[in-house]
A and B are shown apart, each in its own frame.
Chain A
């Protein structure tokens, strides 16, 4: 084979490569698509089907197509109240995570000391190494009737003991502490990419620190805020261990209620219907906020 032939065959190979390049994304994402379809979509579809079955005490469920389970949810004040509690707890938790997260992420990005920065990152990531349950157990020790907070309240301030555990406040505190690292980590990556000279320019032009933060930093931080809020909101909508441990038996959120229907009541069709209400609502709220964010982003040109 001459040198000319070799070059020709190499060029032909490159041409084939170019022609097949469009296939690459599909080929690369193929395994993930198959995996997700098989292990997520298929079970979800099976659960959707189950939510239309009829409950039967002896057989557990009878194959049918009925909307009874969804009608029961809509008609029953108790379950509607459970969903409402889940929604407002998640919203408040997300808001608190956002407030705490923005402050910490801003401080982390702007601090000059590399040692402090490293320490902060470790302090934020370390709690993620522990399970939710262990962190929540810590809150029980703090909030218990004979816990740390009540001990301080009674002995230092000489006040009377407060019921702190098994309240919605305890759940919000627990969820916020569990989810705050997710918000900080998400915001931190965006905050790092905001050029400090933009803030300096704003200050140089006479804006106050607050105005600079409000008019320069916050708009640039919006993609991170959006991602962090979505993450925290979804995680708190689906929270299980924290509401069970800190909310107590009289506090009802959706995920523990679904578990109770599946495991204690053995009413799989109604449990599945509750699960689908939760999934659909979370997905709907996520999509609506994504659309709203997209519109604002286009209007303000930060996308």
Chain B
């Protein structure tokens, strides 16, 4: 049987195809689309594995992923402030950047009614414009084979007995300054800039800590035994150990310094409802339980319960949790520029 396409047939077929496509668009729009700005690599893979695929996409949403570093996300949000629409619905952020964006009034407060799981999140981690997801603290990592006794505090690292064996991450320069502030003043609420600078210079003179670009090089230096102590996030120390590095975590007597990862909702986001659904989905207790056993961060949702062994390894004790210092974001916003200049010119010189 021969088949010829005539003009009428073509028009009818074309109209049918257009109708079908518009129908499909309608069907997809029922779930909607959520644009998520996130880190790439393992971080994104686990977000997909434990939350986006089984919860968000299953509910009919299409997740559009914009993967990049956090500073690129921050820049995008700042740069698009005059545009009619934000370039994303949800942005994964750390607490410091979330504070900065909130202070510039670029993110909206989170509605607890629309994100009901927010009420189960640790109160100490919450701010009005931030959805905390997982957290850890800046503590101390050390090589138990090389050191008989674990260092007990950040302040102990000033001791000349640690000369040349302490490694500092350049990317986390602000945490080293905060450690000095905790050594002097026991708090991050009233940092005395000049006293901290003087103490840091004493540290440099007494113990000459070695400076590495970031986590990766710290891990390498611990592995090579170039260094035996490194202030780091507890989650990172556990990650290094899981990759075969001889390193153990020890909680400093001054208290750790909090790092909180979570989400912010940029103003003028295309689909606020989808963003709320996404945030609520990411606080799913079961998903968080699975996630943190891979990431080694602690879950922000109190309803997320870890198996006993994992809890012992990852989570902070009650006393430790109480003594974790929240970072003084307002201080950093004001002094960051000057202190980074000082870090580059004086401490690193």
Instruction: Report A's interface with B, CB cutoff 8 A.
Output: 55, 57-60, 78, 144-146, 244-245, 248-250, 252, 260, 262-267
Stretch at the interface among B40-48, B109-117, B142-150, B329-337: B329-337
B103 within 8 A of A: yes
B213 touches A248 (CB 8 A): yes
| Consensus secondary structure, chain A interface | loop
A267 and B212 in contact, given A58-B103, A144-B220, A252-B344 (Cβ under 8 angstroms): no
Instruction: Report B's interface with A, CB cutoff 8 A.
Output: 71, 75, 78, 100, 103-104, 170, 211-213, 220, 224, 226, 333-337, 340-341, 344-345, 348-349
The CA of A194 and the CA of B87, in the complex, are separated in Å by 54
Partner of B337, one of A59, A145, A250, A266: A266
Task: Specify which chain A residues have a CB less than 8 angstroms from the CB of B213 in the assembled complex.
Answer: 244-245, 248-249
Task: Specify which chain B residues have a CB less than 8 angstroms from the CB of A264 in the assembled complex.
Answer: 71, 336, 340
B337 touches A267 (CB 8 A): yes
Task: Specify which chain A residues have a CB less than 8 angstroms from the CB of B344 in the assembled complex.
Answer: 78, 252, 260
Task: Specify which chain A residues have a CB less than 8 angstroms from the CB of B333 in the assembled complex.
Answer: 57-58
Partner of A78, one of B220, B337, B345: B345
Task: Specify which chain A residues have a CB less than 8 angstroms from the CB of B212 in the assembled complex.
Answer: 248-249
The CA of A68 and the CA of B152, in the complex, are separated in Å by 46
Closest CB in chain B relative to A255 CB, distance in Å: 15
A60 touches B211 (CB 8 A): no
Closest CB in chain B relative to A134 CB, distance in Å: 14
Task: Specify which chain A residues have a CB less than 8 angstroms from the CB of B75 in the assembled complex.
Answer: 262-263
Task: Specify which chain B residues have a CB less than 8 angstroms from the CB of A57 in the assembled complex.
Answer: 333-337
Among B334, B336, B341, B348: residue with most chain A CB under 10 A: B341
A60 touches B336 (CB 8 A): no
The CA of A262 and the CA of B337, in the complex, are separated in Å by 11
Task: Specify which chain B residues have a CB less than 8 angstroms from the CB of A249 in the assembled complex.
Answer: 170, 211-213, 348
A265 touches B224 (CB 8 A): no
Closest to B170 in A: A249
The CA of A146 and the CA of B217, in the complex, are separated in Å by 13
B103 touches A266 (CB 8 A): no
Contacts A260-B340, A260-B344 given; 17 further ones with Cβ under 8 A?
A55-B337, A57-B335, A57-B336, A60-B104, A78-B345, A145-B224, A145-B226, A146-B224, A244-B213, A248-B212, A248-B213, A249-B212, A249-B213, A249-B348, A264-B71, A264-B340, A266-B337
